[in-house]
């Protein structure tokens, strides 16, 4: 299973379900996003979401079924799990979204464990994002971004690095040659660096701290854009 998104207008319910998912998944590679409104949910969908947990009845006239249909149109492989406080919804059939199942509130470890077990039996699309590297006119390489945390330009080469800064691969090309291919969760924070925002822990003036305490610079010229994009990525307005 790749990343999950919980969309419920009740933040307490989101946090409760997130904790139960973390306890039962026992997989640190799965990132779990929370959204309490449509803007946050749309932003979070960009982050390789494979499973959407969504409340059927949302505030402000929002409808969970309609949003699930919207998500399915953009990401056909996404799996839907509806959240509801009413058992009666489980007796209805939602053809447009083909849900994996339902989680009826209040959440319990047993309920979450059952839905995770069901999800694991499905063939969930976990195709990685990638970029195409044109090394020469006759030599092209497809590079997976699955384990790439940041991309660094140095010494006339482009280095793809993991969470510890180790080199995964490198090519004699410029960062600008692949920048347009990068998915929206990658941010160019410096002339020489693009970073996967999923791995950022904090932003400071002119540098990011990653979740393992490694720091990466933000250029003065790119600071405002980097700050704004990171806040938006986290679900801010």
106/192 same-domain check: no
Contact 112, 21 (CB under 8 A): yes
Residue 60 reports pLDDT greater than 80: no
Residue 53 burial (C-beta neighbours within 10 Å; 0-12, 13-18, 19+): buried
pLDDT digits (tens, 9 = 90+) for 90-133: 545 455 566 888 888 899 999 999 888 888 766 555 556 889 99
109/145 same-domain check: no
Domain that holds residue 204: 130-233
Banded pLDDT at 30 (limits 50, 70, 90):
confident
The terminus-to-terminus CA distance of the chain in angstroms comes to 29
167/225 same-domain check: yes
- Angle at CA 158, nearest 5°, toward 156 and 162? 140
Provide the CATH number for the domain around residue 41: 3.40.50.2300
pLDDT digits (tens, 9 = 90+) for 167-193: 999 999 999 999 999 988 899 999 999
- Provide the β-strand partners of residue 5: 33, 52
Spell out the residues 6+ positions from residue 59 whose beta carbon is closer than 8 angstroms to its own: 9
**pTM of structure:** 0.56
Number of domains in the chain: 2
153/108 same-domain check: no
């Amino acid at each position: 299973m790749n990343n999950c998104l919980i969309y419920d207008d009740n933040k307490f319910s989101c946090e409760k379900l997130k904790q139960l998912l973390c306890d039962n998944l026992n997989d640190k590679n799965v990132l779990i996003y929370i959204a309490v409104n449509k803007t946050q949910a749309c932003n979070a969908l960009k982050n390789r979401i494979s499973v959407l947990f969504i409340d059927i009845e949302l505030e402000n006239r929002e409808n969970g079924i309609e949003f699930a249909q919207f998500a399915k149109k953009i990401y056909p492989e996404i799996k839907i799990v509806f959240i509801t406080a009413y058992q009666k919804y489980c007796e209805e059939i939602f053809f447009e979204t083909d849900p994996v199942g339902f989680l009826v509130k209040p959440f319990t470890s047993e309920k979450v464990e059952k839905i995770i077990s069901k999800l694991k039996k499905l063939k969930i699309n976990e195709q990685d994002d990638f970029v195409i590297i044109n090394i020469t006119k006759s030599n092209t390489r497809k590079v997976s971004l699955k384990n790439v945390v940041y991309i660094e330009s140095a010494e006339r080469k482009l280095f793809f690095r993991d969470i510890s800064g180790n080199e995964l691969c490198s090519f004699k090309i410029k960062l600008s040659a692949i920048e347009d291919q990068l998915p929206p969760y990658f941010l160019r924070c410096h002339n020489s660096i693009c970073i996967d925002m999923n791995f950022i822990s904090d932003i400071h003036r002119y540098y990011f701290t990653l979740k393992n305490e490694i720091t990466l610079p933000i250029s003065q010229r790119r600071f405002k854009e980097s700050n704004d994009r990171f806040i938006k990525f986290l679900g801010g307005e």
